[in-house]
């Protein structure tokens, strides 16, 4: 919108008495930025439902979508926290994979009890995240650069430490079934919900609660919105940033555990696309890359949209490239909508 257009619309509002429809939509989105992805989700489900028919609504289809979204949803939740602080975490995928490798190798190479190995993997994830956080908050380095470096470091460490070996699914099932915990299935109304899916949903709801109803959650938003203002208001900006990156690392490690359940084996070669998928879910979910705005529920919707598109287009027999094309369009539209929402005036 140009400035002349803006002043014209502001004038017409003042003299015309009522608000235009568009203004009202803008305000509604401003208060509730996850409405857009929710709408896109509903519409895309309806469109694919009409095109594909009942097959799309089958429990199997739902099972597939949820399984696919489980890991992206968990990592996306971590990514959401970081992006709300106006940062970005490019190391989420690497933290996830290295943590899963630590869980596997500690069990099979050193013979630690699986529970202890898992604890080590989770601690490692939180530690990597905390290092990101320290570099961003104390050294004041840009998050993009810090996490780009961390991504490379952890990816290399991952291949060096694992010696590029995969731990086979049969061995895990026989000797350390705890690593497969999140693959456990619960059948609800014909649909298989893995424990991983349920965990993802619970995590998103929990984080939505924390962000809304605790001081820490409000500080995460304030730090992303205007760190200077937050500091002057008495918010511990550094502490909040470090904790956000550390929690994000911990969540990525949990995603690594869930991933072992999903693919069965422990492999250093997986999760290469997780970074970009998590950022896609966050952006389509209406969380502003400029920080301070958006809700974590949006990320869940964003992840589901990608899942629905992927499965819907596959069931239609379309080339998989169409999925990427559509997702690319959605990303650009989502960022455009975010810019528009941010221009809201009273």
Partner 1 sequence: MTQPILQARGLVKRYGHVVAMDGADFDLYPGEILAVIGDNGAGKSSLIKALSGAVRPDAGEIRFQGQPVQFNSTKEAQRAGIETVYQTLAMSPALSITDNMFMGRELRRPGFAGSVLRMLDWGRMRAFAREKLNELGLMTIQNINQPVETLSGGQRQGIAVARAAAFGSRVIILDEPTAALGVKESQRVLDLIAELKARGLSIVLISHNMPHVFEIADRIHIHRLGKRLCTVRPKNCSMPDVVGLMTGALGPESNPAEVVG
Q: How many residues bind partner 1 (CB under 8 A)?
A: 25
Q: Is 228 in the site for partner 1 (CB under 8 A)?
A: yes
Please answer whether residues 250 and 95 qualify as being in contact, where contact means their C-beta atoms are separated by less than 8 angstroms: no
Please answer whether residues 241 and 137 qualify as being in contact, where contact means their C-beta atoms are separated by less than 8 angstroms: yes
Both tokens assigned to 289: 């890359």
Q: How far is the CB of 149 from partner 1 (least distance, A)?
A: 29
Q: Is 216 in the site for partner 1 (CB under 8 A)?
A: yes
Nearer to partner 1, 18 or 234 (CB): 234
Identify the CA nearest to 238 among candidates 126, 136, 338. Answer: 136
Please answer whether residues 29 and 38 qualify as being in contact, where contact means their C-beta atoms are separated by less than 8 angstroms: no
Please answer whether residues 59 and 237 qualify as being in contact, where contact means their C-beta atoms are separated by less than 8 angstroms: no
- Count how many Cα atoms sit within 13 Å of the Cα of residue 280 in the half-sphere of its side chain: 20
Of 113-121, 158-166, 222-230, 242-250, the window that binds partner 1 (rule: CB under 8 A) is 222-230
Within 8 A by CB and 6+ apart from 305, the residues are 37, 40, 41, 44, 284, 330
Identify the CA nearest to 69 among candidates 328, 280, 287. Answer: 280
Q: What CA–CA distance (Å, rounded) separates 293 from 95? A: 25
Of 37-45, 140-148, 190-198, 227-235, the window that binds partner 1 (rule: CB under 8 A) is 227-235
On the 0-12 / 13-18 / 19+ scale of CB atoms within 10 A, 161 is: middle
Element (H, E) at 262: helix 237-263
Q: What is the DSSP string of 47-109?
A: HHHHHH-GGGGSHHHHHHHHHHHHHHHHHHHHHHHHHHTT---TTHHHHHHHHHHHHHHHHHT
Q: How far is the CB of 4 from partner 1 (least distance, A)?
A: 21
Q: Is 218 in the site for partner 1 (CB under 8 A)?
A: yes
Q: Among 32, 119, 231, 335, which residue sits at the site for partner 1 (rule: CB under 8 A)?
A: 231
Of 5-13, 17-25, 193-201, 228-236, the window that binds partner 1 (rule: CB under 8 A) is 228-236
Site residues for partner 1, 24-63, by CB under 8 A, read 30-31
Q: How far is the CB of 27 from partner 1 (least distance, A)?
A: 8
Q: Is 340 in the site for partner 1 (CB under 8 A)?
A: no
Nearer to partner 1, 221 or 245 (CB): 221
Q: How far is the CB of 338 from partner 1 (least distance, A)?
A: 12
String marking each residue 162-201 x if it binds partner 1 according to CB under 8 A: ----------------------------------------
Q: How far is the CB of 82 from partner 1 (least distance, A)?
A: 17
Site residues for partner 1, 89-148, by CB under 8 A, read none
Q: Among 200, 211, 230, 334, which residue sits at the site for partner 1 (rule: CB under 8 A)?
A: 230
Please answer whether residues 280 and 259 qualify as being in contact, where contact means their C-beta atoms are separated by less than 8 angstroms: no
Nearer to partner 1, 54 or 234 (CB): 234
Of 109-117, 126-134, 207-215, 310-318, the window that binds partner 1 (rule: CB under 8 A) is 207-215
Q: How far is the CB of 293 from partner 1 (least distance, A)?
A: 5
Q: Is 4 in the site for partner 1 (CB under 8 A)?
A: no
Nearer to partner 1, 240 or 275 (CB): 240
Give Cα separations from 58 to 30, 127, 291 (angstroms).
Answer: 35, 42, 38
Identify the CA nearest to 167 among candidates 96, 114, 105. Answer: 105
Q: Among 20, 170, 272, 345, which residue sits at the site for partner 1 (rule: CB under 8 A)?
A: 345
Binding site for partner 1 (CB under 8 A): 30-31, 213-216, 218-219, 221-222, 225-226, 228-235, 292-293, 344-346
């Amino acid at each position: 919108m140009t400035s002349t257009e803006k002043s014209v619309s502001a004038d017409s509002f003042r003299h015309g008495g009522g608000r235009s429809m568009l203004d009202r939509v803008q305000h509604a989105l401003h208060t509730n930025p996850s409405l857009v992805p929710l709408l896109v989700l509903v519409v895309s489900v309806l469109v694919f439902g009409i095109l594909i028919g009942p097959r799309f609504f089958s429990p199997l289809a739902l099972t597939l979508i949820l399984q696919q979204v489980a890991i992206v949803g968990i990592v996306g939740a971590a990514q959401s926290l970081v992006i709300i602080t106006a940062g970005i975490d490019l190391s989420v995928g690497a933290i996830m994979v290295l943590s899963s490798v630590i869980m596997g190798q500690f069990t099979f190479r050193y013979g630690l009890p699986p529970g202890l190995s898992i604890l080590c993997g989770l601690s490692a994830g939180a530690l990597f995240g905390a290092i990101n956080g320290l570099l961003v908050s104390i050294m004041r380095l840009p998050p993009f650069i810090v996490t780009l470096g961390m991504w490379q470091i952890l990816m290399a460490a991952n291949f060096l430490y694992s010696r590029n070996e995969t731990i086979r699914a049969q061995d895990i099932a026989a000797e350390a079934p705890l690593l497969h915990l999140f693959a456990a299935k619960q059948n609800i109304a014909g649909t298989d919900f893995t424990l991983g899916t349920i965990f993802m949903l619970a995590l998103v709801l929990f984080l939505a609660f924390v962000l809304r109803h605790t001081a820490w959650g409000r500080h995460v938003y304030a730090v992303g919105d205007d760190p200077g203002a937050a500091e002057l208001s008495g918010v511990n900006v550094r502490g909040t940033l470090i904790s956000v990156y550390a929690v994000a690392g911990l969540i990525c490690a949990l995603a690594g555990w869930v991933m072992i359940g999903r693919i069965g084996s422990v492999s250093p070669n997986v999760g290469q696309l997780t970074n970009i998928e998590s950022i896609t879910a966050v952006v389509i979910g209406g969380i502003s890359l400029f920080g301070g705005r958006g809700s974590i529920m949006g990320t869940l919707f964003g992840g589901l949209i990608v899942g629905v598109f992927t499965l819907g287009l596959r069931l239609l027999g379309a080339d998989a490239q169409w999925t990427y094309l559509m997702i690319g369009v959605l990303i650009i539209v989502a960022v455009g909508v975010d810019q528009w929402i941010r221009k809201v005036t009273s």
